Structures are given as C-alpha cells and as structure tokens.
Chains A and B, each alone.
Chain A
Amino acid sequence: MPAQDAQALIEGLVASHGDQLRRFLLARVRNIADVPDITQEVYLRLLRVPNVESIRSPEAYLFTVAQHVLQQHTLEIAALPSAELEKVLHTQASAAHSDPALEVVAAQCLDRLQETLEKLSPKTRAVFMLSRRDGLSFDEIAVRLGCSRPMVKKYLMKALLQFRQRLEAAE
C-alpha cells in the first residue's frame, strides 16, 4: 500500500486519539518526562506497518502498539546493570515539558496528592514532609516525633501507599 495512506491513517489517529494515548501512557509510566519519547516511538512503529488496510480497528491497534512499546521500554530499563538501574530509579528528573495536555494531567495529579496529604494522619504526614521536604534522616525524624525508627519506615510506607491509592482511584 502507498506510504501516504499509512501517513494519512496515522495523522488521523493522532488527531483523534493523541490525548487518549498520552493519558494511557501517563497512567502507566508516571514519569512524565518519558511520555513524549514513547509516544514518538508508537507513531514511528505505526508508520512501519506494512498493511494498514488490514487493520480493522486502528484505535485498538494504536493501543496494542503502545502497550508493546511500553513493555519494551520497561524491559529495557529492567535489563540495565544494577548500579545503572538504581541511578535511573533515584535520579528521575521531573523534566520540564512543554506539552499543555500533559501539564493539565500533571496538575490534576498534584491536586489529588495535595488532597491526600491533607487526609493523612498527623504523624504520617509529618514523616513524609520531614523526610521529603526537609531531608531529615530516619533517626532524626524518630527523635523529633518520639517514635521508633522502624515506625518511621512504616509511616513513610503508609504515606506513599495512600498517595498511590488516591491516584489509582482517579484512573
């Protein structure tokens, strides 16, 4: 089939499903900085499809391809040597991006995290803020809050889990 037909199909899909694809990826990656690259890869793969006319549902196909790219992306990360992997995991940049649609989703995400923060128990909230914002060690937090070090660990875990559950409920 002529290349321009594939091009036209993809342009149509981008126009009609671009936002949906971004939300789909965002809900699964959560590292906003990666979404534009992955989106690009999805479109490039669609362009290489040999028989576009054989695809019955371009929408379903779009998301299948996205799923594959996503999986490969996480597998690529998973294949890194340990030291590299830890570096990737712990130095995730909250990179500035210029896509307004993504910024809206990111802002909604922040609103939900803010809501959750306000609902955390006082100690859970204090542990999260002292660790995250103030960079205090677990020993320092334990002394300040008058609880044991293992409890600090538990409170932080609880805070993270509640944030995550709130985001999941919104998906």
Chain B
Amino acid sequence: MDHQVRSKMNTQIYEEACAWFSECRAGDLDDAGRREFDRWLRKSPEHLSSYLEIAAIWNDGPSLDPGVSGPRTS
C-alpha cells in the first residue's frame, strides 16, 4: 500500500480511537453504543492496537506534571 494512503488511514483510525475513548470516559454509551464500540474494536488489529495505545497514554497521565500554566480552577 502507498505510504501516504496508509498513513492517512492510520490517522483516521487514531482519530476514531480517541473519539471512542472520550465517549467511554464520558459514560454516555448505551447498549447500542457499546455494541457499536465493540464492532469498531474488532474491525482490524490496527483498530484494537490504536485503542490500546490511547489507553496507554491515558495510563501515563498521572505521571505528568501539569506545571504552573493553565487555569487553576480549584
């Protein structure tokens, strides 16, 4: 497959993975939504591994230092 095409396809999968991750965090998925998510995950190994990568980034979150910038809201 052409490198550019593959890279564009990957970008789309990652965008979808991030959107699904955000949906799951929001807790907005009903039964139909969960089934759709499940189908999406099983589309290809790339779909599943992209989601795992996003989950791994999420796992690293607590190790990051938010620093002094950004709105402190509390």
**A interface residues, Cβ below 8 angstroms from B:** 28-32, 71, 74-75, 77-78, 82, 85-86, 89-90, 92, 94, 109-110, 113-114, 117-118, 122-123, 125-126, 128-133, 137-138, 144-145, 149, 152-154, 156-158, 160-161, 163-165, 167
Contacts and interface: CB of A to CB of B under 8 A. Distances in A.
Contacts of B55: 31, 89-90, 92
Interface size class of B (residues with CB under 8 A): 35 or more
Secondary structure call for the A interface: helix
Contacts of B4: none
Interface of B: 14-15, 18-19, 21-27, 34-35, 38, 41-42, 45, 48-49, 51-67, 69-71, 73
Given A110-B64, A152-B26, 5 more contacts: A29-B52, A30-B57, A77-B48, A157-B15, A157-B22
Given A131-B25, A138-B25, A161 B14 contact: yes
A110 B59 CA distance: 11
B53 A89 contact: no
A160 B22 contact: yes
B41 to A, nearest CB: 7
Contacts of A160: 18, 21-22, 54, 57-58
